[in-house]
Structure 1
Amino acid sequence: MKLSSFAASVVALSACLFASTAANAQDAQPARGPVKNIVLVHGAWVDGSGWQPVYDILKKDGYHVTLVQEPLTSLEDDVSATRRVLDLQNGPTILVGHSYGGSIITEAGVHPNVVGLVYVAAHAPNVGEDEGALGKGTPSFTAQQAGAIEKTGDGYTYLNPADFPKDFAADLPIKQARFEAHAQMLTAAKVFTTPLTAAAWTSKPSWGIVAGDDKIINPDLERWYYARAHSHTTVIPGASHSVYESRPQQVAAVIEDAAQHAQQ
């Protein structure tokens, strides 16, 4: 009888330990269902303030939204700035990048909190590729325009303020476009020619927005990127490179679609 009682106790204890272990394992799994964390990454020559129209929509719809203000000094620095913000997220996150920001999220997106990527008129190179070389293969209107891209003596680039409104922001109010032309963040030329060491789109779902009248990145290159990545692709006809500012409702809708379906 004593042996039987001991055996019964061992079985009961084992069952409790198994249940506890299973519960802990379940707790350790990432949350399923809609994602509530969104991180927005800006591109070259601008800062994060341009995301405000999209930010306002996402916040109104109940999302926790954070912007990255990367320094634009090197791809490594910009990826590090993005990873710091991702470290602060409290769970599954959708990572969104505009323009050169697409290269940043491609590398930073391997972060474990990231469950989906959204490319907004953005580059999406693979490992070993850089957007500068890919852009030469499918050149944009701006790249073929003499004097549109200027460079400082210490290796930083900017758009000629006279060309900025029509090249970068043709569908924004002219007063706003001119202000942005004179509020540019000078961007290290080397960010465009640094090969990527990781490509999150190869292992995580992605969404892509083609700006139909983009002059900074050739829309055909955007289509090619997204087709290669098997991204859920949305084309916004007539949109400029500033599509995230000029068409915030459509851009926010794509981001929310990613948040709702990335973990399905």
Structure 2
Amino acid sequence: MLRFPLLAMLMAAAALPAAAQARARPVDPDAPTVVLVHGAFADASSWDKVAARLRMRGVPVVAVDNPLTSLEDDVAATRRAIAAAPGKVVLVGHSWGGTVITQAGRDPKVKALVYVAAFAPDAGENSAQQGERFPVAPGLQKLVERAGFLSLSEQTMASDFAQDLKPAQVRAAYAHQLPLKADALSERVAVAAWRSLPSWYVVSRKDRMLSPELQVATARRIGAEWRSVDAGHASPLSAPHEVSDTILEAAGLKLSEPAPGSNGG
């Protein structure tokens, strides 16, 4: 008697990939490749929700796995992704990833930059210097240093990094955490790609890792088109609709339509 319900379940499970493919659009030949660069205390999976929304629009996406061992190493990983892209690129950086795209973005294939709750130093400046004139965010006061690498405790992840995510999502974010080499924050960028490229910025109004005041000042300094979202630092996970719409705008593509009842989560 159990065979038929079990068979039905197996058939339904087998049909899921085909259903998902049916909903996805084919790659838009006019769409640039979006290269997503994660920040500290995260990995490429922090972009999963944004990447899924972009792919549903037919936009090719690459999420870079930064080693977070130095600015040079992260820039090199990002440049490899840019080089592998078949055409133009929109380069997106979250948090520390903003410093990375500021340097890596000086490439003829890059057509636009998108900063998401991110640093954007000027040439000769480092990430730490950018925050000197602003209040130190609560989460930055709780960093844990081990063997020269900075990380977050699970409690800090829940209270300051991803406070607007559900508990299961916070646990997943903590499990995927990659530490940042502390010295990277004092490495100066040699060039500032935002000086020669159109830029966009997404400010997280409830950010407890990077002061919202710093984010607004940064967006204005780099001359970015900017919007703010009612989200904490992990806005690619808590506000993926707004973040992906900003990327679509930077790519010169039609904005996506909000899902019924969606708050971007």
TM-score higher than 0.5 here?
Answer: yes
State the SS of the aligned residue for 1:46.
Answer: coil
1:124 paired residue number: 120
2:36 paired residue number: 40
1:136 is displaced (CA, Å) by 2.9
**1:142–1:67 Cα change, 3 Å:** same
Question: Paired residue for 1:209, among 179, 196, 202?
Answer: 202
Residue 64 in structure 1 maps to residue 67 in structure 2: no
- Alpha-carbon separation, structure 1, partners of 2:204 and 2:30: 26
Amino acid at match of 1:223: V
**1:94–1:138 Cα change, 3 Å:** same
How does 1:173-188 map onto structure 2 within 5 Å? 173-188=166-181
2:165 paired residue number: 172
1:163 is displaced (CA, Å) by 1.3
1:93 is displaced (CA, Å) by 0.8
Residue 37 of structure 1 contacts residue 93 of structure 1 at CA under 8 Å; is this kept in 2?
A: yes
Question: Paired residue for 1:82, among 74, 78, 82?
Answer: 78
Once the two structures are superposed, what CA deviation does each residue of 1:228-248 show, in whole Å capped at 9, x if it has no partner? 1110000113x0001110111
Residue 36 of structure 1 contacts residue 62 of structure 1 at CA under 8 Å; is this kept in 2?
A: no
1:17 paired residue number: none
1:20 paired residue number: none
1:34 is displaced (CA, Å) by 5.5
State the SS of the aligned residue for 1:179.
Answer: helix
- Alpha-carbon separation, structure 2, partners of 1:132 and 1:143: 15
Residue 159 in structure 1 maps to residue 143 in structure 2: no
Question: Paired residue for 1:103, among 99, 102, 118?
Answer: 99
Residue 126 of structure 2 contacts residue 189 of structure 2 at CA under 8 Å; is this kept in 1?
A: yes
Gaps of 5+ in 2: 1-28, 254-265
Once the two structures are superposed, what CA deviation does each residue of 1:167-210 show, in whole Å capped at 9, x if it has no partner? 00011101221332243211100111111101000000000000
- Alpha-carbon separation, structure 2, partners of 1:178 and 1:141: 22
Residue 45 of structure 2 contacts residue 176 of structure 2 at CA under 8 Å; is this kept in 1?
A: no
Computing the radius of gyration over CA atoms, which structure comes out larger, 1 or 2?
A: 1
1:144 is displaced (CA, Å) by 6.2
State the SS of the aligned residue for 2:228.
Answer: strand
- Alpha-carbon separation, structure 2, partners of 1:171 and 1:207: 23
Residue 35 of structure 1 contacts residue 94 of structure 1 at CA under 8 Å; is this kept in 2?
A: no
State the SS of the aligned residue for 1:260.
Answer: coil
Identity, in percent, stands at 38
- Alpha-carbon separation, structure 1, partners of 2:133 and 2:144: 21
State the SS of the aligned residue for 2:202.
Answer: strand
Greater shift in the superposed pair: 171-180 or 62-71:
171-180
Residue 140 of structure 2 contacts residue 209 of structure 2 at CA under 8 Å; is this kept in 1?
A: no
Q: TM-score, normalised by structure 2?
A: 0.82
2:251 paired residue number: 259
Q: TM-score, normalised by structure 1?
A: 0.82
1:53 paired residue number: 49
- Alpha-carbon separation, structure 2, partners of 1:36 and 1:124: 22
Residue 46 of structure 2 contacts residue 173 of structure 2 at CA under 8 Å; is this kept in 1?
A: no
Residue 242 in structure 1 maps to residue 234 in structure 2: yes
- Alpha-carbon separation, structure 2, partners of 1:50 and 1:144: 19
Amino acid at match of 2:84: L
Amino acid at match of 2:216: R
- Alpha-carbon separation, structure 2, partners of 1:189 and 1:144: 12
State the SS of the aligned residue for 1:241.
Answer: coil
- Alpha-carbon separation, structure 2, partners of 1:61 and 1:183: 27
Between the two proteins, the alignment pairs up a number of residues equal to: 225
